[in-house]
Chains A and B, each alone.
Chain A
Amino acid sequence: MSEKVLGVRPRDLTRVRPVMRSRRIRLNPTLVAGLVLLGLVVLVAIAAPLLTPYDPIAQQFTESFLPPFSPGHVLGTDNFGRDIWSRIAYSTRLDLQIGLLSVLFPFIFGGLMGIGTGYLGGKLDTILMRIVDVLMAFPFLILVIAIMSILGPGLTNLYIAVGVVGWIPYARITRGETLATRHLEYVLAARTIGCSSTRIMLRHILPNVIAPALIYVFTGMVLAILTGATLSFLGLGPQPPTPEWGAMIAEGRQFLLLAWWMTTLPGLALLVVGVALSLIGDGLAENRGG
């Protein structure tokens, strides 16, 4: 009946324009600096084969321990005579992939969990919060290491281990935002005209609560990349001779005085990626007046 009177379906009435999309993302110096830096890193990752003539795992014993700025090897070579620049460049792919994939699933899962429990409340919400309490009791790195010790080293297991706790921040953020949103007029209006809970959560609440969670993604990526590098430093990550920054740092440790560049340079690469992502996160947060 209502459809006839109004001449529209509830679906059309509640086509929401998300707050985030209508407000353009404004560029600020922090955000620009982060984007430029990350752009360069991504470029290195994509163009790695073009940027270096060397195979990152090809050993050349006659060329070992060359210091940076040696002819043919800008950043020097390691104990196996492998070119450090090409190992760093190829590792960029791996570390960016670790950052992206270990955040992607936790973000989706955690975000939806937070919205669902925040909106529906009740037992579901209580159960979720107790699970969070239990998982938060473990020191993050120790739990990840313990899980890795059972699953065994390797990339997929790393994603699983990080994911077990990784979804919590997103769930907490969207849950909090949803709790603040669920009594707002537009949500009540949607409910009044008979929208289903699923529709309200996905079409009305989600677009409005997702922005803070998205900002946290960048912090989450920094954390994931650092965790990945730490695990591979401890020998639990991708196995040698795969070039990975954390593993390179570990390999260089025994030659610290002989070849300082073996440990120092891969760490700088990690630092650059971390700073780039943090600047983007900070820049976006500034945008929201945070």
Chain B
Amino acid sequence: MGRAAYIRRRLILMAFVLFGVTVVIFGMVRILPGDPAFLILGDRATDQKAAELRQQLGLNRPFLEQYWMFVSGFAHGDMGQSLLYRQPVGDLVLTRVPITLALSGYAMGLAAIITLTFGILAAINKGRWPDQLIRIGFLFALTTPNFWFGILLILLFGLTLHWFPVAGFGETLPQHIWYLFLPALTLALQLSAVLIRNLRGQIIQTLRSDYVRTAHAKGLSERLVLLRHVLRNALLSTVTIFGLQFGFLVGGAIVIETVFALPGTGQLLIQSITARDYPVVQAITVVSAVLVIVVNLVVDLSYSVLDPRVTYE
């Protein structure tokens, strides 16, 4: 299959997944027994309020029409009204998304640096103490609850040493970088734990291949072989995992935002759940799923840049 055909198939699949995502989210409130209006209103519910809400959410219309309203609304950027803030959900969510994205992007950058440094270090010292130390260290990073680790960082670097601020995200770009460092580091360490294992294995495997032996035989320096020949191939599968972990990262960002009091989507999500602001929960879930779908598509398509040999099955 050629590249164009592959991309076409991939896009069709993406459209299908998007359709599935909307069905899941749309169905979520409606498959539950009982009246969704009462469910959303909770203890605030009165008959009159419930009737108003049913009207507002279109719950009194036929099922398919409701679904159509839901999907076409989203397509137009109209995600309904927030029950708590009494303003359009779209505006509410979209002002928060950049913070979550910035945090995730920052964490990905840090994770890339950490992974490359320690992955290479572990691989070239295979079996010796630096390798063991890295393995144990990142085993801990993998199993540490990230919200707890974030709090520890606040306690140590914020409250005790006063090196970093403990909340908010600053005004200017240098400030953003400084304010977001601890939360991004928290996310990055956990992400790297997954990636380092993979990169280490891939490098060790690649080092055994014939073309690396040839490169050595040509008299190329150790450094050049490692960086130019080995790494490029070894990184292929690590990058895939990197992409697949994006969803995990966004999920982590939600929690870390609450720990570091960052006004991103995470904070909004938690608030909305407590307030049973269902339209907002719905919107955030859809937006995050769409982000993950897009990132995975980009990762899939970027294969060909990293490895021209890739065939599209």
Q: Point out residues on A near B: beta carbons under 8 Å.
A: 130-131, 133-143, 145-151, 222, 226, 229-230, 233-236, 246, 249, 253, 256-257, 260, 263-264, 266-267, 270-271, 274-275, 277-279, 282
Of B60-68, B115-123, B139-147, B178-186, the stretch lying at the interface with chain A is B139-147
B269 CB to closest chain A CB (Å) equals 7
B275 CB to closest chain A CB (Å) equals 10
Of B50-58, B204-212, B229-237, B247-255, the stretch lying at the interface with chain A is B247-255
The reply to whether A256 and B155 form a contact with Cβ atoms under 8 Å apart is yes
The reply to whether B269 and A142 form a contact with Cβ atoms under 8 Å apart is yes
**Please, could you name 15 A-B residue pairs with CB atoms under 8 Å apart, sorted by A?**
A131-B20, A133-B17, A133-B20, A137-B20, A137-B293, A139-B250, A140-B251, A141-B248, A142-B285, A145-B269, A149-B272, A150-B28, A150-B278, A267-B145, A278-B142
The reply to whether B21 and A271 form a contact with Cβ atoms under 8 Å apart is no
The reply to whether B147 and A141 form a contact with Cβ atoms under 8 Å apart is no
Q: Name the one of A138, A151, A256, A278 contacting B292, with C-beta atoms under 8 angstroms.
A: A138
The reply to whether A249 and B148 form a contact with Cβ atoms under 8 Å apart is yes
Q: Which residue of B lies closest to A144 (CB)?
A: B251
The reply to whether A143 and B155 form a contact with Cβ atoms under 8 Å apart is no
Number of A-B contacts (CB under 8 A): 143
Determine the chain B residues whose CB is within 8 A of the CB of A282 once the complex forms.
Answer: 139
What 1/0 mask marks residues of chain B from 257 to 293 whose CB sits below 8 Å from any chain A CB?
0100000000001101110101001101100110011
A248 CB to closest chain B CB (Å) equals 10
Determine the chain B residues whose CB is within 8 A of the CB of A279 once the complex forms.
Answer: 139
The reply to whether A233 and B147 form a contact with Cβ atoms under 8 Å apart is yes
Majority secondary structure, A binding face: helix
Determine the chain A residues whose CB is within 8 A of the CB of B84 once the complex forms.
Answer: none
Determine the chain B residues whose CB is within 8 A of the CB of A137 once the complex forms.
Answer: 17-18, 20-21, 247, 289, 292-293, 296
The reply to whether B274 and A150 form a contact with Cβ atoms under 8 Å apart is no
- Interface core residue of A147, A149, A267 (most chain B CB under 10 Å): A149
The reply to whether B154 and A256 form a contact with Cβ atoms under 8 Å apart is yes
Determine the chain A residues whose CB is within 8 A of the CB of B293 once the complex forms.
Answer: 137
What 1/0 mask marks residues of chain B from 124 to 167 whose CB sits below 8 Å from any chain A CB?
00000000000000011011110111011011000100000000
For the complex, give the distance between the alpha carbons of A158 and B241 in Å. 27
B24 close to chain A: CB less than 8 A: yes
For the complex, give the distance between the alpha carbons of A282 and B289 in Å. 31
